Amino acid sequence: MPQSFHPPQRTLLGPGPSDVSPRVLEAMARPTIGHLDPLFVDMMDEVKSMLQYAFRTQNALTLPVSAPGSAGMETAFVNLVEPGDTVIVCQNGVFGGRMKENVERCGATPVMVEDEWGKPVDPDKLEDALKAHPEARTVAFVQAETSTGAESDTRALVEIAHRNDCLAIVDAVTALGGTPIEVDAWGIDAVYSGSQKCLSCTPGLSPVSFSDAAVERIRNRTHKVQSWFLDLNLVMGYWGKGAKRAYHHTAPINALYGLHESLVMLQEEGIENAWARHQRNHAALRDGLEAMGLSFLVASEYRLPQLNAVRVPEGVDEAAVRNALLDDYSIEIGAGLGPLAGQIWRIGLMGHASNMRNVYMLLAAMENILAGQGYALERGAALSAAQKVYAAGDEDLKAAANG
Ligand SMILES: Cc1ncc(COP(=O)(O)O)c(C=O)c1O
């Protein structure tokens, strides 16, 4: 006879999902009501306006797609790309590769701009690709590459796209809530994220936002969007403001309660404070790891605070460290992907999980495990280095970051 499933209490410090706030879990356990119930519709409107706050946009077409980040990615591509189009796809990790797949499946031609994994997208290479392909209508890239922990300069890349008459699609799955992203000020045309990273919510929802220029392109398409479910012309009828809501699909009611709660928490904290918290905890983790003699894959100026790619030192068994963290401390961290498999650990400090307690806990556990493997380190140095960061406070952190 199958039994109820009771997962253990883990601390999720990998590339996502990250720890979910108990407030979010409690909100999700509230009574399910109908998805066209006037009270639920009011809540949907609040979710939309809180997503506008998180994305820093006035875009009317801002909503959570009822599926994970990959569906947000697909929503952007199937709506903006038509068969026969040329799309410039920048790749500096795993997720640019998925964008290429999306472009091909839309019947369009991807032109790849490749950068080394661990480096940001090179704006000059994008500029060259656009010069070589004046027929391109769209540029796509990932702001926060979860596979490497590198951040690309979204503002600069969008500006280049626009100067070359292209719309810009930006992947903000790991970026949103953890690091600045300014949809309106930077002129992003299509952006998608995920609920399970820096928003402290459960996986399964993908906030998206589309500019007026993107909406105009969608309205003027010559081919029907090949996905019925993700066709924004239809989804708009369900999520549109003021208009009478038309049934499109049954919204994941309780999941949306969870997202609503996580966005309430983001507003309570203030998004700038959330960015500063991610930066502070990253700095403490970084100094602690460096005090153990560990180093980072990504150069400091391109490093994401919410995803730390740490090199596995010579002689240390990468998988054994991860397994010991999980088995002995119930802490999850991530492995390297593709060419970085076996070479890095990916330590996430995302959303609710980005806190001082987790930084100290991880440093102490890593120190014990590495020492147990015979790796030479000075006991206690990591915690003391982290403690110095917390003692210094944010003003000193800002001054140090600004040189
Ligand atoms: C940068 C990036 N894009 C897209 C995705 C896909 O999101 P999901 O796994 O929620 O479908 C992820 C997931 O980790 C991601 O990190």
- Residue 237 has what pLDDT? 80
DSSP strands (E only) in 195-259: 206-210
> Is the Cβ atom of 96 under 6 angstroms away from ligand 1?
no
Q: What digits encode the pLDDT tens for the residues 7-51?
A: 999 999 999 999 999 999 999 999 999 999 999 999 999 999 999
| Residue with CA nearest ligand 1 atom 10 | 69
- Residue 247 has what pLDDT? 85
| Residue with CA nearest ligand 1 atom 16 | 146
Identity of the residue numbered 208: V
In whole angstroms, give the CA distance from residue 252 to residue 227: 19
Structure tokens at 66: 């009822």
- How far away, in angstroms, is 56 Cα from ligand 1 center? 21
> Is the Cβ atom of 16 under 6 angstroms away from ligand 1?
yes
In whole angstroms, give the CA distance from residue 125 to residue 56: 28
Where helices occur in 173-246 by DSSP H, the ranges are 212-219, 232-239
Asked if residue 188 lies in contact with residue 138, where contact means CB atoms within 8 angstroms, the answer is no
- Residue 246 has what pLDDT? 79
- How far away, in angstroms, is 202 Cα from ligand 1 center? 13
- How far away, in angstroms, is 274 Cα from ligand 1 center? 21
Q: What digits encode the pLDDT tens for the residues 318-331?
A: 999 999 999 999 99
Q: What digits encode the pLDDT tens for the residues 355-369?
A: 999 999 999 999 999
Q: Is the pLDDT of residue 205 over 70?
A: yes
- Residue 240 has what pLDDT? 74
- Please, which residues have CB within 8 angstroms of residue 257's CB and are 6 or more apart in sequence? 27, 28, 30, 43
Q: How confident is the model at residue 60 (pLDDT cuts 50, 70, 90)?
A: very high
* Pairwise pLDDT comparison (155 vs 248), residue with the higher score: 155
Q: Hey, is 292 helix, strand or coil? A: coil
Over residues 279-284, mean pLDDT: 98
| Chain position carrying tokens 């459960």 | 202
- Residue 238 has what pLDDT? 81
DSSP class of residue 62 equals E
Pocket test for ligand 1, best of 65, 75, 102, 174 (most atoms within 8 A of CB): 174
Closest CA to 149 of 195, 118, 114: 118
> Is the Cβ atom of 95 under 6 angstroms away from ligand 1?
yes
Share of the chain above pLDDT 70, in %: 97
What are 140's strand-pairing partners? 89, 169
Structure tokens at 396: 């000193």
Q: How confident is the model at residue 58 (pLDDT cuts 50, 70, 90)?
A: very high
> Is the Cβ atom of 91 under 6 angstroms away from ligand 1?
no
- Residue 397 has what pLDDT? 62
- How far away, in angstroms, is 307 Cα from ligand 1 center? 13
> Is the Cβ atom of 173 under 6 angstroms away from ligand 1?
yes
Average pLDDT value for the chain: 96
CA atoms within 13 A on the CB side of 69: 25
Helix axes 212-219, 232-239, angle to 10 degrees: 120
Q: Is the pLDDT of residue 243 over 60?
A: no
Helix axes 69-80, 94-105, angle to 10 degrees: 40
Over residues 195-211, mean pLDDT: 98
Q: Which atom of ligand 1 is nearest to the CA of 71?
A: 11
DSSP strands (E only) in 238-356: 307-311, 331-332, 334-335, 344-348
CA angle 329, 335, 339 (to 5 degrees): 165
> Is the Cβ atom of 70 under 6 angstroms away from ligand 1?
yes
Over residues 170-179, mean pLDDT: 98
- How far away, in angstroms, is 117 Cα from ligand 1 center? 16
DSSP class of residue 244 equals P
Pocket test for ligand 1, best of 70, 102, 193, 202 (most atoms within 8 A of CB): 70
Q: What digits encode the pLDDT tens for the residues 344-358?
A: 999 999 999 999 999
pTM beyond 0.85, yes or no: yes
Task: Read off φ and ψ for residue 348, nearest 5 degrees.
Answer: -95, 140
